Amino acid sequence: MAISFVIMIVGIVLDNYIKTSFFKGYIRLAWYITAYLPVGLPVVLKGGKALSNKDFFTEYTLMVIATVGAFFIGEYPEGVAVMLFYAVGELFQENAVNRAKRSISALLDVRPETADVVKSDSLETVSPDNVNIEDIIEVKVGGRVPLDGILQSESASFNTAALTGESVPRTIRKGEEVLAGMIATDNVSRIVVTKPFGQSALARILDLVQSATEKKAPAEQFIRKFARIYTPIVVALAALIILLPMVYSTISPAFVYNFNDWLYRGLVFLVISCPCALVISIPLGYFGGIGAASLHGILFKGSNYLEAMTKVNTVVMDKTGTLTQGVFNIQKIVPANHITETDLIKLVASVETQSTHPIGKAIVAYANKQSIEITRPNTVNEVAGYGLQASINNQAILVGNPKLLNKNGITFPPEITAIPETIVVCAIDGLYAGYILVADAPKADAATAVNALREFGIKNIVMLSGDKQAIVSKLATELSIHHAHGDLLPEGKVEYIEQLKADPSNNIAFVGDGINDAPVLALSNVGIAMGGLGSDVAIETADVIIQTDQPSLIATAIEIGKATRRIVIQNISLAFGVKLIVLILGAGGLATLWEAVFADVGVSLLAILNAVRILKMKF
């Protein structure tokens, strides 16, 4: 391009300012052909390849016809300029696409190439594909975790930015899950592999990102089809601009027809009409939107879902794991008068050591965290649907729900039965000893998420859950959600979504994370999965994945979708508006090939710059 530009400028100077006798005829033609070839030859070859594939009306064909026509009528500098600026536009387009891809292709850079497998007292470096489940791998500080697994070391901090977009390192403790793509930040870690590399979280994300561009938004599909119809029409119109005046001159002798003048007008029309700005900038706009979303830990499986997010007017959310943390925590400890809080926790935790229930595990974890001594019970028997009976130091201990105490004829404060949250009651030797309230706390940004959705004009916000209606209603009141339904089986959620879909005006986004949410994720207009803790089934079924598990990013996804749509509409308006004006001027002989170049390449550049602007926006 630089060579072509210098030769063209020298030629223009020789034409207009240093007029010499030798710069004429074939020498002048050869000079401008020399300027044309570096930028024109690649386009000519692409056009020839398209023709060989029976694709006759491409942008390459239009450029070649226009520039060869310009040379035919002696407008050599303009012929070179058209191809030169087209090449410049292509360069800007390529850079813009690379810039839009950068945030997504960063994911591809996190694919580890090797894994250090622990073999006796040594390490063997192998490909991640060759590591087996239950192998132990070692990750050094600064190294990337090559496969999903369970941390064997006591604790370690990991940078999870590539997977979740989180800038703050995450501390993972022994027995917790570590995902491929994380970076060890503080010490050497050993991990027991739980999945082959092809099934790891990282591999799944890479597959989703790489396939996202295959699913086109309606605007993209339309513009591709439009270009295939539009291009042959403008070629025909350009031919008519040249031929109709010729026909008219045979009818009206007073009309003087100059073939070169009308050929020039037809070429101007042809260059202006090239649909580059539309074909390039609209897909780039959507791709930029997908890139901007990935920077925030949001993965769209296709640009069609970016478009669909802009139409959402009803958001239905699961409770556990979506609006709540999905982890039981002790909220309150209420001992009876004859026992201390510590002794109550000690007894209940001692009994619950024999339980696999999440509530029992939460109580044991709390006791360990508080360094409360746990005594191994002598005997433990489970009473299905009620709780546990145990013997500790010759004391008969009951731990379970209030029904367990009723069953054994033990009296307790009647107000306990009115508590909506989950409680664990305890009795010692037939005497009520107190209760522990265990609940799944709301996520830190749950209320922010609901308020942000309302700010976007989404009034119909619904919460569905399989949990008790009393618990669901209490959380709904805290979050200002006006429609909340509990005690639902998976088929109950499906029935509710089907009722909403019966009204065609409802465009529904469902947000969930569990296996039981997969049917409603598939049924809704847009399925959104909480990807950090969500089940594989939910993630595979969903259209949008929130890697950070933050419900507030639902509103961010809508905002990015709307910003992308605005940019696409701006580009369509810009391209059509400018082209229409210059097309009319060109057909009337008032625009030259220079204006045509601006209408084509200039508008393309403006549209491209507008499209990549989304990567700089703050959401």
CA distance 354 to 357: 9
Give the catalytic positions in this structure: 318
Strand partners, 155: 173
| Helix/strand/coil for 134 | coil
| Helix/strand/coil for 185 | coil
**Which H/E stretch holds residue 461?**
strand 460-464
Strand partners, 298: 546
CA distance 381 to 398: 10
| Helix/strand/coil for 21 | coil
| Helix/strand/coil for 198 | helix
Backbone angle region of 134, left / alpha / beta, with phi > 0 → left and psi within -120 to 50 → alpha: left
Residue 407 makes CB contacts below 8 A (sequence gap 6+) with 383, 386
CA distance 264 to 79: 11
CA-only gyration radius of the chain, Å: 34
CA distance 452 to 481: 12
CA distance 430 to 351: 16
CA distance 127 to 117: 10
> Could you say which DSSP state residue 256 is in?
P
Residue type (1 letter), 366: Y
CA distance 82 to 586: 15
CA distance 383 to 395: 18
**Which H/E stretch holds residue 324?**
strand 324-335
593-605 exposure pattern, b = at least 16 Cβ within 10 A, e = fewer = bebbbbbbbbbbb
User: Is residue 174 within 8 Å of 365, Cβ to Cβ?
Assistant: no
What are the angstrom distances between the C-alpha of 244 and each of 289, 458, 499, 586?
A: 46, 56, 61, 15
* Torsion angle of C-alpha atoms 251, 257, 260, 263, degrees rounded to 10: -40
User: Tokens standing for 329?
Assistant: 């925590």
565-587 exposure pattern, b = at least 16 Cβ within 10 A, e = fewer = bebbebbbebbeebbeebbebbb
Going by C-alpha positions, the residue among 150, 281, 232, 228 that lies closest to residue 606 is 281
